[in-house]
Chain A
Amino acid sequence: MAFSVPVRLGAAENTLIEQLNSAGAAATAERISVAGLPTRRVESYHYTDLKTLLRSVPPLADQNDTLDAFLKSGATPFHVEGAHQITIANGAVAYDDNAPAGVIVGKAEGNALSTRDDVLVHLNTALAKESLTLTIENTIEQVIQIDRRIEGEAAHVLDSAKIFVADNASVTILETLSSSDAAHVGNHATYLAVGRNTVVTHIVIDLSPRAATQFSTSEYTIADGAKLRTVTIHAGAALSRSQIFARFTGEGAHGDFTGLNLVEDGQHNDITIDIRHGVANTTSQELYKQIARGRSKAVFQGKIVVERDAQKTDAKMMMQGLMLSNEAEILSKPELEIYADDVVCGHGSTCGELDEDSMFYLMSRGIPKAEAETMLVRGFIEEVLDPVENEALAEALHGVVDRWLLGKAG
């Protein structure tokens, strides 16, 4: 009956096809040339229409001649006292031999993510040349920081990390995304295998300047009795999307998935999560807060899937949005997809502006308006940052939020 209209390809798509073909990834190139980049008609990109938002893609980064220069050029924009730092600059992995005992750092060819029908995953799989490999063998007190940087002229950078946390180990891993002030497109992948009875905190924070576009995909498998906490913070980049794909594979595991989506004038930031309870007796809590000011878009898409065998699952998702301007948009889609009957699942979503009564309370006690606002906003996000135990790290994270509140983010 109806016929389908062939997709018209834009500049970004043509560049991607060219880059994929020259990397020998004909199949992925073919996919993009047939379907194009996802539009709002693709359910998982409903609020982030890449075809419209991603106008152009810069050339692939040349890793070799630039790496040394960058490593010498300076420190990460986000420094945590006592952290052990590993750098991936323009896709190339750089590390030295002084890793703490129990941390094995290496690199491998190829990429980290499982196959998944997602354009960002396909691109990373096809174009990321090498992966950082990180094995955590026991309890590590030091924060392990993976500093992912894009330097120099505008570049399309795809990098990848594969992290294994051995049974009974515990660790805090911090990933920072940053770049020079150019129209980069970053596509970062992390695969994190969380072993049995581990305690793992994984933080991804985007501090890129406003010219950049950053995509990141984190994939987790969570084994028996593990406790995972993830924190995703967006405080930079004109366009960004963080994807989280997590699957519980062992009983008795618990996951806390949290995040802050801070957007201001001209930004479009998206956090998309897909949490799958694959076995019985697992629990998860998702807590995401979005704050939008200026003319901006904050997007949260959350999905909890409870598979057929995942009886006794307890999953609760919460999204709270705070609008600080009338031109801002907060768009959220908290989904539940449930196939097991003996479960307790729920989600909530709220959206509004700062509470007038609270503002009045503070101002009537002599606190100036701007300060009162800041106090309330800080209170609003505290729930996400409070559980981070490492003091130096918590302080640095608060610093990021404070800078954003003062309008000096990125």
Chain B
Amino acid sequence: MADYDDIPTLKDNIDRATVDSVLALDVDKYKYGFETDIESDMAPKGLSEDTVRFISAKKNEPEWMLEWRLEAYRRFLTMTEPSWAKVHYPQIDLQDMYYYAAPKSSPAPKSLDEVDPALIAMYDKLGVPLREREILAGVERPNVAVDAVMDSVSVVTTFREELSKVGIIFCSISEAIREYPELVQKYLASVVPVSDNYYATLNSAVFTDGSFVYIPKGVRCPMELSTYFRINEKKTGQFERTLIIAEADSYVSYLEGCTAPMRDENQLHAAVVELVALDNAEIKYSTVQNWYPGDKDGKGGIYNFVTKRGDCRGVNSKISWTQVETGSAITWKYPSCILRGDGSRGEFYSIAISNGYQQVDSGTKMIHLGKNTSSRIIAKGIAAGFSDNTYRGQVSAHAKAKNARNFTQCDSLLIGDKCGAHTVPYIESRNGTAVFEHEATTSKISDDQMFYCQQRGLNEEEAVALIVNGFVRDVLQHLPMEFMVETQKLISISLEGSVG
């Protein structure tokens, strides 16, 4: 990391905190790029039936789970990689990576004290609270329960006991497979079928860990649940699987964060997230995705190929996705809602920022199947540097989806003349009573806006950050409080160096 001496002219009038936060970004402006030296237990390199068996054995999985994985693996062999997205990357060699890497520690730590201190230090450095801190000195902070997943395993899940008092199950998916097989069997792959797409099928065969949440009937989850994903090991892929079930009349808000060390290789992250909302239930899922985006020449970075889908299975259920995408070399991600229950509602709020050589192809799908279903999409794409930023979204109304309603707004902002912003909506109306509205705009920050800000004493970068924060405000306000402040900072950081 650079220090103050490296800066030739440090002006006195600059707030020291600003300098700190900029310095913390280092050359590549990525502050989570450190690597932690933790001894790992790895699977043999490459993908094969043996790898699948190895993972299943490591997880002490029951026989049915192994069979399920092997079936997925066999399906996977017959599939080809999708090529429709507007992203370019060299062929990924699936044989040249590890599918399982777990921090070596005593088997199943019973409490946080048994967890490797290096691990806890790492999470502290990332700003993820793993210790269930007492409320200190009258400063009341809302508690957030965390499931921390490093490489292939969940290292710790906090606040489990408190949650279990109200009947909420919050644990790693591996535990859920062992302890709640009936729930897992009932819901796993019921939203994203095993052979849904190339990466989802690969995930089904080799997924290693992830979170499992079950909210019983009528329970409003008392705290935010969150998972923190971290890739640490070299040459590994992370394949996590998250399953959230909200029973009738329940509510849960779930946060997800991700980071990875800076490396000059590309690492694959292929996750599957499934949400199930039953009658009158509501799930709010927020993501701040900040995987390592690669260096300034586009070397390295995470390939983020993710399938996220929510199923509004019950009447008047609601699923809302909010995402802030700033990381990853390539993002290929479409958090979707299947609006099956009558009167159900889907929402998608997204900010996707790309800089350097990042490529983003992200958006959503709103599939209207039930009567009186409604959906809303607000997507803001910001492209800077040499990046390409694509919004790709599908809205469709089935013939039986009487009175389906959709409103979509996607706006793109271009900063610099070497980047690209693209919009690819698919609007499919199969019902006369469906009403769909879609609007999209692309523009740059106007000279008038810049002049206005600069004339009032902001420098160019501050002005851009301010305008961009205004541009994404519609989305920001849907983020949980904890994420909002963080995100505003992240936005300024991601755009660092994009002007002038």
- Interface set of A (CB-CB < 8 Å, partner B): 1-5, 41, 43, 46, 308, 311, 321, 323-353
Q: For residues 431 through 477 of chain B, which have their beta carbon under 8 Å from a beta carbon of chain A?
A: 431-444
* Smallest CB separation, A175 vs chain B (Å): 29
How long is the Cα–Cα vector from A332 to B441 in the complex, in angstroms? 17
How long is the Cα–Cα vector from A5 to B79 in the complex, in angstroms? 9
List 27 A–B pairs whose Cβ atoms lie within 8 Å, in order of A's numbering.
Answer: A2-B77, A2-B80, A2-B198, A3-B78, A5-B78, A308-B417, A308-B418, A323-B429, A324-B432, A327-B399, A330-B427, A331-B427, A331-B429, A332-B428, A334-B423, A337-B420, A337-B422, A339-B419, A342-B417, A343-B443, A344-B441, A345-B442, A348-B438, A348-B440, A349-B439, A350-B438, A351-B429
Residues of B within 8 A of A347 (CB): 423, 438-440
* Smallest CB separation, A211 vs chain B (Å): 26
**Most chain A Cβ neighbours within 10 Å, of B78, B412, B430:** B430
Inter-subunit contact A336/B423 (CB<8 Å): yes
Asked, given contacts A336-B442, A338-B420, whether A43 binds B84 with beta carbons under 8 Å apart, the answer is: yes
* Smallest CB separation, A97 vs chain B (Å): 50
Inter-subunit contact A328/B80 (CB<8 Å): no
Inter-subunit contact A338/B436 (CB<8 Å): no
Inter-subunit contact B430/A329 (CB<8 Å): yes
Residues of B within 8 A of A329 (CB): 428-430
Q: For residues 74 through 123 of chain B, which have their beta carbon under 8 Å from a beta carbon of chain A?
A: 76-81, 84, 94-95
Inter-subunit contact A346/B435 (CB<8 Å): no
B180 an interface residue at 8 Å Cβ cutoff? no
* Smallest CB separation, A68 vs chain B (Å): 47
Inter-subunit contact B435/A352 (CB<8 Å): yes
B194 an interface residue at 8 Å Cβ cutoff? no
Nearest CB to that of A333 among chain B residues? B426
Asked, given contacts A2-B78, A308-B417, A338-B420, whether A351 binds B434 with beta carbons under 8 Å apart, the answer is: yes
Inter-subunit contact B417/A341 (CB<8 Å): yes
* Smallest CB separation, B78 vs chain A (Å): 7
Find A351's partner among B81, B415, B426, B436 (CB 8 Å cutoff): B436
Inter-subunit contact B420/A339 (CB<8 Å): yes
B47 an interface residue at 8 Å Cβ cutoff? yes
Inter-subunit contact B436/A341 (CB<8 Å): no
Asked, given contacts A2-B80, A327-B399, A338-B422, whether A353 binds B432 with beta carbons under 8 Å apart, the answer is: yes
By Cβ-Cβ distance, the 5 closest A-B pairs, closest first, are A341-B414, A323-B432, A349-B438, A352-B435, A346-B441
* Smallest CB separation, A376 vs chain B (Å): 14
B425 an interface residue at 8 Å Cβ cutoff? yes
B223 an interface residue at 8 Å Cβ cutoff? no
Residues of B within 8 A of A339 (CB): 419-420
Inter-subunit contact A338/B94 (CB<8 Å): no
Residues of A within 8 A of B94 (CB): 1
Residues of A within 8 A of B419 (CB): 339, 341
- Interface set of B (CB-CB < 8 Å, partner A): 47, 76-81, 84, 94-95, 198, 399, 412, 414-444
Inter-subunit contact A336/B436 (CB<8 Å): no
Residues of A within 8 A of B416 (CB): 341
Inter-subunit contact B414/A336 (CB<8 Å): no
Residues of B within 8 A of A351 (CB): 427, 429, 434-436
Nearest CB to that of A347 among chain B residues? B440
Residues of B within 8 A of A334 (CB): 423, 425, 427, 438, 440
Inter-subunit contact B415/A341 (CB<8 Å): yes
* Smallest CB separation, A320 vs chain B (Å): 10
Inter-subunit contact A336/B399 (CB<8 Å): no
Inter-subunit contact A348/B47 (CB<8 Å): no
How long is the Cα–Cα vector from A325 to B430 in the complex, in angstroms? 9
**Most chain B Cβ neighbours within 10 Å, of A321, A343, A352:** A352
Residues of B within 8 A of A330 (CB): 427-429
**How many pairs of A and B residues are in contact by the CB < 8 Å rule?**
131
* Smallest CB separation, A258 vs chain B (Å): 19
Inter-subunit contact A348/B84 (CB<8 Å): no
How long is the Cα–Cα vector from A327 to B364 in the complex, in angstroms? 25
Nearest CB to that of B408 among chain A residues? A349
Residues of B within 8 A of A348 (CB): 437-440
Known: A326-B399, A331-B427, A348-B440. 15 other contacts (CB 8 A): A1-B47, A1-B95, A2-B77, A3-B78, A3-B80, A308-B418, A333-B426, A334-B427, A334-B438, A336-B412, A342-B444, A343-B414, A347-B438, A347-B439, A353-B435
Residues of B within 8 A of A341 (CB): 414-417, 419, 444
Inter-subunit contact B84/A335 (CB<8 Å): no
Residues of B within 8 A of A337 (CB): 420, 422
* Smallest CB separation, A308 vs chain B (Å): 7
How long is the Cα–Cα vector from A43 to B79 in the complex, in angstroms? 18
Find B417's partner among A3, A46, A311, A325 (CB 8 Å cutoff): A311
Inter-subunit contact B412/A4 (CB<8 Å): no
Nearest CB to that of A323 among chain B residues? B432
Inter-subunit contact A332/B444 (CB<8 Å): no
Inter-subunit contact A2/B76 (CB<8 Å): yes
Nearest CB to that of B427 among chain A residues? A332
Find A336's partner among B79, B422, B428, B432 (CB 8 Å cutoff): B422
Nearest CB to that of A345 among chain B residues? B442
Nearest CB to that of A349 among chain B residues? B438
How long is the Cα–Cα vector from A342 to B423 in the complex, in angstroms? 17
Nearest CB to that of A321 among chain B residues? B429
**Most chain A Cβ neighbours within 10 Å, of B84, B418, B438:** B438
Residues of B within 8 A of A350 (CB): 435-438
Nearest CB to that of A306 among chain B residues? B442
How long is the Cα–Cα vector from A375 to B256 in the complex, in angstroms? 53
Inter-subunit contact A323/B431 (CB<8 Å): yes
Residues of A within 8 A of B437 (CB): 348-350
Nearest CB to that of A354 among chain B residues? B432
How long is the Cα–Cα vector from A323 to B417 in the complex, in angstroms? 41
Nearest CB to that of B92 among chain A residues? A1
Residues of B within 8 A of A338 (CB): 412, 414, 420-422, 442
Residues of B within 8 A of A325 (CB): 432
Residues of B within 8 A of A324 (CB): 432
Inter-subunit contact B77/A326 (CB<8 Å): no
Residues of B within 8 A of A335 (CB): 422-425
Asked, given contacts A2-B77, A41-B84, whether A353 binds B433 with beta carbons under 8 Å apart, the answer is: yes
* Smallest CB separation, B415 vs chain A (Å): 7
Residues of B within 8 A of A345 (CB): 441-443
How long is the Cα–Cα vector from A349 to B59 in the complex, in angstroms? 49
Nearest CB to that of B82 among chain A residues? A41
* Smallest CB separation, B463 vs chain A (Å): 16
* Smallest CB separation, A364 vs chain B (Å): 22
* Smallest CB separation, A303 vs chain B (Å): 9
How long is the Cα–Cα vector from A3 to B80 in the complex, in angstroms? 7
How long is the Cα–Cα vector from A332 to B94 in the complex, in angstroms? 36
Find A343's partner among B198, B429, B440, B442 (CB 8 Å cutoff): B442
* Smallest CB separation, A81 vs chain B (Å): 38
How long is the Cα–Cα vector from A333 to B422 in the complex, in angstroms? 12
Residues of B within 8 A of A343 (CB): 414, 442-444
How long is the Cα–Cα vector from A324 to B431 in the complex, in angstroms? 10
How long is the Cα–Cα vector from A4 to B82 in the complex, in angstroms? 12
* Smallest CB separation, B35 vs chain A (Å): 29
* Smallest CB separation, A16 vs chain B (Å): 24
